[in-house]
Structure 1
Amino acid sequence: MRQFLSLLVVLLLFLPLESTVAQAALSTSQTKNEATINTKSLAKGIISVGFKTKSGKKAKVGITKNGKTYYYNLPNNGTLTQFPLQMKNGEYTVTVFEHTKGNYYKSATSKKVTLKLKDSKTVFLQSVQNVKWTRSMSPIKTATKLVKGKTRTEDKVRSIQNYVARNVKYDYEKYRNVKSGYLPNINTTYKSKKGICYDYAALFGSMLRSQGIPAKLVTGYSTNAKGLHAWNEVYIKELKKWVIIDTTVDAATKNSGKSIYKKASDYKKQYEY
């Protein structure tokens, strides 16, 4: 039975998800287009970036600390988009890039910001580009109902995990046709009741964050999945530690009566948001 379930998970899960870290050639030459790096929410561990180009070209933002950079696609119409500063306290360099040709981008603006959070978990409570939520969203209202009357973090997490695993089915068609640069929309996943692993992780993470439970969306590799995978790490207050929860696997196996916490040895993290 165990071997069957392992095989089932491998068959169900996800084609390689393109990492939000772009493999692009980025130069430091400046452009004169309108780029904004807003630090008003720095105390929450996030920044807002906007970029409006006259050319309508594609844009990216790079967030660097201690030699590691996260690259994200950025709307080119000036809309402010929130991004996490998830690499703990210290100095970050935020750079906005505009596409030139081929795989090349040039810098529009750059700014250094210093993060000084009292609690590093704060950033994993916020709404950001790929874990995007508001209080008015239906899945967030459902999360509030699911945790009503519960005081322990573990009980709240289990209630939301059970809801996602039982109500969202794996979307094979999206698996075959998902495009590069895809971002999850939790309203769409909630209403359609289907998605790929990125959708599962974004929905679960958003519902937890809305209830004051720190949750990371993590991408990398797992022995339970074929190709690049997405899952969550959740901070359990009673345990005083982060645990791995994979609602995509739980949905495929119906959790089989096992603990919802997964073995760290089965997962290899690349990026966290």
Structure 2
Amino acid sequence: MGPVSFKKLLLVFLTGILFMSQSITVKAEAAYLKSKDVTLMNIGTQKVEGKIHLKGDSKQKQIKVLLIKDEEKKWYELPLKEGKFDEEIWLTMGKGKYTAAIMIHEEGRKYSYGPKITVENVGEVNPFLVPVKHVESNDEKIIQLAEKLIEDKTTDREKAKAIYDWVTGNITYDYEKFGKHQEGDYDNTYGALHTLETKKGVCYDYAALTASLGRAVGLQTKVVKGQVSSELYKGYHAWNEIYLADENQWIFLDSTFGVGGKKEYFDKKQSELSHSKQEEL
């Protein structure tokens, strides 16, 4: 082989090494998406079975997730631990294409877009059995309490009643938060875990905690929102429906009224007449 040919061969070889190293670098960088001091693991456009895994870190103090499917949108909290987040979010809006966008808090209720990923959900999800926003049925504290409450119960009705009895007997109504609502202030902390830790809440908190405890032990449980017109209260309200599989029926329960009314509102059919359902979560 002549010297010219050897030089050409060497040049091709070195060029190939350089190209490979650049490709490796590009792939490594593409493993994470970065925007506005937020780094998000890039799982790429892929098919997922019912849930999405969001992992990364943030220099921002407060971020959320905006989940978008078709025309429907849902917001989720994204807790940070030492600047890192690692959450699984269930895709409860059916099969199809989802976009998960990290939203960065600017001020007040204003958020801006950070990195985002897109996936295709190919799995069926029962929305009344999985953890969702404010219904943290996968939290260890929730699970331990729920399992303790039903440990000697055999039927779904007994399990549901044990949960209802505990919530009505241990959570007090938060009149301060209710007063803020009356003034149009909804910037408060809500949800099952917060209610369990503080032992107080408004109707939505009661319903979220009841749903979390039910779902934690495999009971399909809805958080229902709508209008109420009764001797106890008139206006927007939240309550629950629980499915009793061994009886093949959904039953109505209102743990908030169970406390405020000093009566039992568990499977109280006549009370359904005062509750007008508008949304279920």
TM surpasses 0.5: yes
CA shift, 1:101, in A, is: 6.1
Of 230, 233, 257, the residue aligned with 2:241 is 233
Kindly indicate whether the alpha-carbon contact (under 8 Å) linking 1:59 and 1:74 is maintained by their aligned counterparts in 2. Answer: yes
Kindly indicate whether the alpha-carbon contact (under 8 Å) linking 1:62 and 1:94 is maintained by their aligned counterparts in 2. Answer: yes
**Alpha-carbon distance change, 49 to 145 in structure 1, aligned in 2, over 3 angstroms:** same
| SS state at 2:115 partner | strand
Of 129, 133, 143, the residue aligned with 1:125 is 129
Of 47, 67, 70, the residue aligned with 2:74 is 70
Residue 254 of structure 1: aligned partner: 262
| SS state at 2:190 partner | coil
The letter for the 1-side match of 2:178 is Y
**Alpha-carbon distance change, 140 to 58 in structure 1, aligned in 2, over 3 angstroms:** closer
Of 98, 109, 113, the residue aligned with 1:107 is 113
- For 2:113 and 2:139, how far apart are their aligned partners in 1? 35
String of CA shifts for 1:177-226, please: whole Å, max 9, x gaps: 5761523353x534654322232122211211121112233444433555
Residue 182 of structure 1: aligned partner: 189
String of CA shifts for 1:8-28, please: whole Å, max 9, x gaps: xxxxxxxxxxxxxxxxxxxxx
- For 2:234 and 2:77, how far apart are their aligned partners in 1? 25
Residue 263 of structure 1: aligned partner: 272
CA shift, 1:248, in A, is: 0.9
Gapped regions of structure 2 (runs ≥ 5): 1-34
- For 2:117 and 2:257, how far apart are their aligned partners in 1? 40
String of CA shifts for 1:28-85, please: whole Å, max 9, x gaps: xx65631347799x54x3334356433x254332112231111234346332244332
- For 1:240 and 1:38, how far apart are their aligned partners in 2? 40
The letter for the 2-side match of 1:141 is Q
Larger CA deviation: 226-235 vs 89-98: 226-235
**Alpha-carbon distance change, 102 to 96 in structure 1, aligned in 2, over 3 angstroms:** same
Residue 20 of structure 2: aligned partner: none
CA shift, 1:103, in A, is: 5.5
- For 1:257 and 1:204, how far apart are their aligned partners in 2? 13
TM-score, with structure 1 as normaliser: 0.68
| SS state at 2:84 partner | coil
- For 1:247 and 1:171, how far apart are their aligned partners in 2? 14
**Alpha-carbon distance change, 134 to 46 in structure 1, aligned in 2, over 3 angstroms:** same
- For 1:164 and 1:129, how far apart are their aligned partners in 2? 19
CA shift, 1:239, in A, is: 4.4
- For 2:54 and 2:154, how far apart are their aligned partners in 1? 36
Residue 52 of structure 2: aligned partner: 47
**Alpha-carbon distance change, 128 to 153 in structure 1, aligned in 2, over 3 angstroms:** same
The answer on 1:87 being equivalent to 2:93 is yes
**Alpha-carbon distance change, 91 to 174 in structure 1, aligned in 2, over 3 angstroms:** same
Larger CA deviation: 259-268 vs 69-78: 259-268
Of 169, 174, 189, the residue aligned with 1:171 is 174
- For 1:245 and 1:156, how far apart are their aligned partners in 2? 13
**Alpha-carbon distance change, 247 to 84 in structure 1, aligned in 2, over 3 angstroms:** farther
Residue 19 of structure 2: aligned partner: none
Larger CA deviation: 101-110 vs 90-99: 101-110
Larger Rg: 2
**Alpha-carbon distance change, 53 to 148 in structure 1, aligned in 2, over 3 angstroms:** closer
TM-score, with structure 2 as normaliser: 0.67
The letter for the 1-side match of 2:272 is K
**Alpha-carbon distance change, 251 to 38 in structure 1, aligned in 2, over 3 angstroms:** farther
Kindly indicate whether the alpha-carbon contact (under 8 Å) linking 1:50 and 1:75 is maintained by their aligned counterparts in 2. Answer: no
| SS state at 1:87 partner | coil
Gapped regions of structure 1 (runs ≥ 5): 1-29
The number of aligned residues is 236
**Alpha-carbon distance change, 218 to 80 in structure 1, aligned in 2, over 3 angstroms:** farther
